[in-house]
Structures are given as C-alpha cells and as structure tokens.
A and B are shown apart, each in its own frame.
Chain A
Amino acid sequence: MSIKLFMKSLWVFHLNSGSCNGCDIEVLNVFTPYHDVERLGIKLVASPRHADVIVFTGPITRETLPKAIKAFTAIPEPKAVVAVGSCACGGGIWYDSYAVIGGIEAFYKILREEYKVKIPPTVYVPGCPPKPEAIIYGIAVLRGILRQKQRRTYFTEKEVPELTKDLIINIEKYMESKSRKEIYNGE
C-alpha cells in the first residue's frame, strides 16, 4: 500500500548527514528548470513531519548519527528512503574512516539492533555525484514506473585448459590454434 500512495504526489525531506555537498546540489538541481521534478508531483519540504520520502546523502558521520536517527523516526509511517550518491549507498570513499558510520546499510544495522525500527523500502542511487537524471530514474524505480536495469552478475569460469609443461613452453602455438573465444569461454 505504502508506495502506491506516492504515485502522484511525493514530498521529499533532504537529510545531508556529512555529505561533501556534491550530491546535495544535484538533489537541488533536480528542482531547477531543466529537470523540474515538480511535474512528477515532487516537492522539497522543510520539515520531516510533512515528508513522505527521506533523501539521504553522505556517509552518516558519527556527529550526525543521533540527529539522523531522530529525523528518521520523525517521519510518519508509510515512508521510503532514497540513498543518493555512493557515500549513502555504501560509504563511498570514506568507508574505512573512524569518523564515519558508513552508508545506509550500517545505519539500518544500528536501527535494527538498538531501535527495533521497521526498515522502509529503499532505493540506492549510486554516482559520485549522480546525474540529476539518475536521481529522477531512482524515484521512477521507487514508484515502480520503470524496472531497474542494474542487476547482480556472477561469472564463473567453466572449462579451463589443463596446464602442462609443453602447453606453457609453446604457448604461442596454443594461442593460434584456438581462437581467443574458446580459451576464455565461460558461462
């Protein structure tokens, strides 16, 4: 039920938890004339009370963690999260720093353990910074208008030439005899 509610009108609350502002400007760029998201019924709202969707940018730093938790819980229930930028999706370049929680996954882990909060549907928009069109595409995926193109791919190598001394010594002959495709065939 929750996502169907946002098909026509979606109010966004933008939370920058330690981002370098590259993504925040792209999030704001989305409201400017070239990409104007108001035609899709999206409005930037100033208080989490009014918001339906929270846009996370930045790899939640330790300082903003308590504030991010408060803002997250202050949004009325049928809510959704859009993680914009590589920092929010997986911690980006700051992943190992001591002062950073490391993206939305770690934030959800903290929320699950300590606050027992239900995790809302989330869209991850990688990019550093993602183009405004990528953010619009993310919201279209959240709403279900478009299916996501990016899928997990797992390639395992099947047949492999048996390594022997003479194969190694006259590798050139081996290379010509078989076209490149067969040598490195795979699933």
Chain B
Amino acid sequence: MHISTTKILDSLSKYGKIEKVHENTYFVEVSADKVREVSEILHWKLGGHFSVTVGSDERPINGYFKVYHVFLMDKQKLSIIVHVKVNPVVPKLPSITPIIPGANWHEREVHDFFGIFFEDHPNLERLILPYDWPKGVYPLRKDVSIRGLRSKLLKNNAESEGKRKAEEEGYIVPIGPYHPALHEPEYFELYVDGEKIVDAKYKGFHVHRGIEKVAEEKLTINQIPFIAERICGICGYTHNVAYCQAVENAAGIEVPLRAKYIRSILLEIERIHSHLLWFGVLFHLLGFDTGFMMTWLIREKIMDLAEVLTGNRKNYGLNLVGGVRRDINSEKIEFSLKTLNYVETKLRSVLDKMLKLKEVISRTKNIGLLNRNEAKKLSVVGPVARASGIDTDVRKHHPYAAYSEVEFKVPVYDEGDVYSRALVRYDEVFESINILKQLLKNIPKGNIMADEVKIPEYRKGLGLTEAPRGENVHLVITGRDNKIYRWRPRAPSYNNIPSTLIMLKGENLADAPAIIASIDPCFSCTDHLVIIDIKRNIKRRIRLKELARRRQC
C-alpha cells in the first residue's frame, strides 16, 4: 500500500498552503485547530513518523510565535513540516501529545523556552531548565539577551533553592550526601519493590548548556558547526554534518561530490567507534571487564585513524557550510584501508564470541522488552527502533552526503530486547566497514569546498543524518549579517529515553543498568540511580527525607 507523494501532497493541500523549500522537503501552513488532525493523518494513516517539534520566536519578522512539527515519511523519502502561527499576546496551541505520546517532551520543551501553552497536554511541567529557574523567564525569546540572563540568575544560590523546592513538592531529595560515580548526569529514579522495579521516573537534562541561545546570539554561521559538534561527545560529527546540510539546503548551496564522500567517510568512522564504545560499556555493566578492555583495545585503532585523517581523536572539526576543510590524499586512504582490515579481522574473531557467552546472553535475552506498537507510539529512532521491527534508517530513506552512491543492508530484528539491540549494532559495525571500503575505493576527484557560499536571510532548511543512536534532525532559519535566526538540533536520545521507562517496568533491579545502556543514551551512566524502595521504606521514607536534609557532610 505504497502511497505516492502527489497523493500525500494534495491530501495535505486541503489544510493549508504548501511551500516546497528544497528537494523533497515541504512546509505546510496549517491553522491552529487543524494541527491535531494533520498530525494524526501524517503519523498514523500515511505511515510517516513524528520526529521533532520546534518553537521559534518570529515576532521581529512577522509578529508571531511559530511552532513547527516535523514528520518524516520514510516510504516516500519525504519530510513534511507542519507549521502553525501562534499569536504572541496569548500563546496557546492545541497539543498533539494525546495522539502521538512521543511528542510529550518536545512540547514541554517549547513551553519551557517560549512560554507557549499547549492545551490538554498530560503534564506540562518544567522539563529542561534547572529547577531553580525563576518562573516567567523564557530564555529563547528574542527580547531576552544572554548577558543580562547570566548575571541576574547567579545571584540566588542554587543550593538553598534546591532544598526549599524539595520540601514544597515532597520530592525525595537525592538520597545519600554523595553523588555516585557520574559518568553522565542522567538521573533515573527507580521505584523498587525488593529487587523488582515497579516504576521509573526520569529527571534528566543536567547537561542542558543553552546551546541554542549561545548559537543564536553569539556565533556566526561558520562558527556554529564547532558548537554543533560538541552537543554529544560521541556522535558529534553527525550533528556537525546535519547542521551544515540544513544551512546548505536552506541557501541552496551545491556541495562538491568529493566533500560529500569525505563527510560520509568520517560519519561511518564515527559510527564504528560509537558502536564499539557501546559494546565496551555493555560488557562493563555486565561485569565482564575483559570484554570492555578488548573492545576498547580494538576501538583505539579507529581513534588513531580519525586522528590521522582529521587531526583530532574525537571532535573532527572538519566541516564548514559548503564543504570540508581538509582533503584526504592517497597515502591516508591506504592507511585507513589497512586499519579497517585489521579492525575487521579482530572484530570477527573476538566480538561474536563475546556475545555468545552464557552470562551475557542470560542477562540480555528478552530483558527490557519494547514491542513494535509501543515503539511506534513513542516514535523511537535508530537501533532501538530497528530492534523492535521498525525499518527506519535515514541513510536509506532520506539519502544525504554520499549514501546514495553506496549499497548497504539495514539490519532489522523484531524481538525488541537488549540482545536484539546488540545484534543490530553488531551487524551495523560490519555494514559500516564495507560502506567505508566502497567510499574509500571510488572517491572522486574535485575540490572540497563549494566555490561561492552566499546565504540569504530568513530561509528555512532541514538537515537529517543517521547518528549511531538514531536520526538527527536539525531545523535552521537563516538570519541577517552572517548569523542564524533559529537553530534546533534534536539528538536521537531525546526520543529514545522515554522508552526506557516502559522497558524498566517489572524488570529486575540488577538489569536496570543493562536496559538503560541498551538504548545507549549518549554515554549511559547507569551508576547514577537513586533507588526508592517502596514497600520496605514507607516508614523509612519520612526518615530518609529528614536524614537527607539533616545530613550535612
């Protein structure tokens, strides 16, 4: 039942004006009351999937707030952006979360940053801003400048504010005066009954650094790729490429083919190193430290390869809008082919043996289940979706850079447990290695930078890439005098983390780290768990609260 593009477009034209921004990306202007209807059609009927909601304060331009809902239609290789005007005096909009639960966080974020109120949204509380952020200050609005914001806010001391807020709402202040080994400040509160997990709550976003505000106010167009790369320390380059593609699509710049090849080569190198890193973390969490050491030993070769090609082990800093800063000569190509062969032989001999170990299988098989329907509801992306039977891969369905020139297979399993996610990543590593070989063998000649880079103002562009953890969506509105008006990067973990709350229910406490690690949220630190034991500590709950507050040290 393959619906053709034209059919989709005229079914949408009923709702509002359609504007083609660049090849297979359409903006549909919709009035506020029709938003729910259109989202339902796109997400459920036409087989697309919801990917991100972007708010933007366009009062200086046309006096309105704007909310963009981005839908990606994989089958038809289309991306459709439904955008709605919101009047600035009473910013109100019907929420689409009742239809698409996956949009829950997205709308709360727009509420946090722009103060747009979403009607009958299940829980429209604060999501990202720190808990002691004063009410009514919406950082991403154009009238709030970054300088004033910083000094005004530092006055009230975060510490005392935190405690006072804890009493009001009867929160459980993080128990224990210390801060367990925090590889990454994610923060899962697991409600435990004995060893069984009853419920889980996620209080995250410690890593909110206000990227969009810094990018909008302080950085020029060619400086943003460097901040985009530092959104996530593991798959930073995908954000870099997604941003550059968004601006190139918006401004209609044609990137030379050789630059596209170099970009794809670096993207695949990053995918291999990220997946190997994930295997190491999984083995470490299952207590199998030798596996951790062996996989990272092999991964070190990939980091050295990246260092030779780009000059830095991790943040490659290779992209500018319109092309690439460094070229690859034949000697580097042959060095990379040698490394790839070494890595492939080592991986073939070691990694699948490790996955066949009894304890690894017994602690990952049918644990942390996410069936196909749940995954579709939460619009989960990347290996987590591919392990639950949904076949989405931006490289196949929305080809970018040089992916249309190479053939590769997209592994899909449908058990939906931690083990199948491991298998998906296992196949993807070898897929990436053979993609890299194809890219390196037939890289074309030509210059690496588009000759004339002119970026008109107020143009919209969408950049998509397939990060190791899922699809990256960047929506960009270009601004005046070499600055960006609005830039919204959406990392894949943003859609994947809510799915862990479903996977964790009913599971065993000792498996929680493996489950949370299975969606590989950036660099999963599962040590950071606070376990509130329901049954046994009803009595203790009160004591613990006093305990936590009185305990000084």
What is the minimal beta-carbon distance from B202 to any residue of chain A, in angstroms?
Answer: 13
Within residues 30 to 88 of chain A, which ones have a CB less than 8 A from any CB in chain B?
32-34, 44-49, 58-59, 61-71, 73-74
Task: List B contacts of A171 (CB < 8 A).
Answer: none
A17 to B525, CA, bound (A): 12
Task: List B contacts of A71 (CB < 8 A).
Answer: 178-179, 182
Q: Are A97 and B179 in contact (CB under 8 A)?
A: no
Contact check: which of B149, B159, B232, B297 meets A66 at CB < 8 Å?
Answer: B159
Q: Are A61 and B208 in contact (CB under 8 A)?
A: yes
Contact check: which of B213, B300, B523 meets A32 at CB < 8 Å?
Answer: B300
* Contact (A96, B184) CB under 8 Å given A32-B297, A62-B130: no
Q: Are B214 and A94 in contact (CB under 8 A)?
A: yes
Which of A8-16, A144-152, A157-165, A173-181 lies at the interface?
Answer: A8-16
What is the minimal beta-carbon distance from B499 to any residue of chain A, in angstroms?
Answer: 20
Task: List A contacts of B153 (CB < 8 A).
Answer: 62, 98
Name the residue on A nearest B289 (C-beta). A31
B433 contacts the other chain (CB 8 A):
no
Name the residue on B nearest A27 (C-beta). B183
A15 to B525, CA, bound (A): 11
Q: Are A26 and B146 in contact (CB under 8 A)?
A: no
* Contact (A29, B233) CB under 8 Å given A46-B180, A46-B181, A98-B146: no
* Contact (A20, B178) CB under 8 Å given A62-B132, A99-B208: no
What is the minimal beta-carbon distance from A75 to any residue of chain B, in angstroms?
Answer: 9
Q: Are A98 and B314 in contact (CB under 8 A)?
A: no
A122 contacts the other chain (CB 8 A):
no
A135 contacts the other chain (CB 8 A):
no
A114 to B522, CA, bound (A): 34
Q: Are A131 and B313 in contact (CB under 8 A)?
A: yes
B90 contacts the other chain (CB 8 A):
no
Task: List B contacts of A19 (CB < 8 A).
Answer: 184, 207, 233
Q: Are B210 and A98 in contact (CB under 8 A)?
A: yes
B494 contacts the other chain (CB 8 A):
no
Task: List A contacts of B209 (CB < 8 A).
Answer: 18, 59, 61, 94, 97, 99-100
Task: List B contacts of A21 (CB < 8 A).
Answer: 183-184, 232-234, 522-523
A100 to B158, CA, bound (A): 12
A97 to B132, CA, bound (A): 16
* Contact (A69, B277) CB under 8 Å given A32-B293, A32-B297, A33-B297: no
A16 to B525, CA, bound (A): 10
Task: List B contacts of A96 (CB < 8 A).
Answer: 146-147, 150, 214, 218
Q: Are A25 and B277 in contact (CB under 8 A)?
A: yes
* Contact (A74, B296) CB under 8 Å given A24-B233, A47-B181: no
Q: Are B313 and A74 in contact (CB under 8 A)?
A: no
B322 contacts the other chain (CB 8 A):
no
Task: List B contacts of A62 (CB < 8 A).
Answer: 130, 132-133, 153, 158
Task: List B contacts of A167 (CB < 8 A).
Answer: none
Task: List B contacts of A47 (CB < 8 A).
Answer: 178, 180-181
Task: List B contacts of A63 (CB < 8 A).
Answer: 130-131, 185, 205-206, 208
Contact pattern, B 117-160, Cβ under 8 Å of A = 1, otherwise 0: 00000000000011111000001000000110110011001110
Which of B2-10, B223-231, B443-451, B467-475 lies at the interface?
Answer: B223-231
A16 to B162, CA, bound (A): 19
Q: Are B179 and A70 in contact (CB under 8 A)?
A: yes
Q: Are A32 and B296 in contact (CB under 8 A)?
A: yes
Task: List B contacts of A48 (CB < 8 A).
Answer: 178-179
Give the top 8 A-B pairs by smallest Cβ distance, nearest first.
A22-B233, A21-B233, A71-B179, A97-B210, A20-B233, A99-B210, A74-B178, A32-B296
29 contacts between A and B (CB under 8 A): A13-B181, A16-B182, A17-B182, A17-B185, A18-B209, A21-B232, A21-B233, A21-B523, A24-B183, A25-B314, A32-B293, A32-B300, A33-B293, A46-B181, A47-B178, A61-B130, A62-B130, A66-B159, A67-B174, A67-B182, A70-B177, A71-B179, A92-B230, A93-B214, A96-B147, A98-B146, A98-B150, A99-B210, A129-B315
What is A's interface to B at a CB cutoff of 8 Å?
13-26, 28-29, 32-34, 44-49, 58-59, 61-71, 73-74, 92-94, 96-101, 110, 114, 128-129, 131
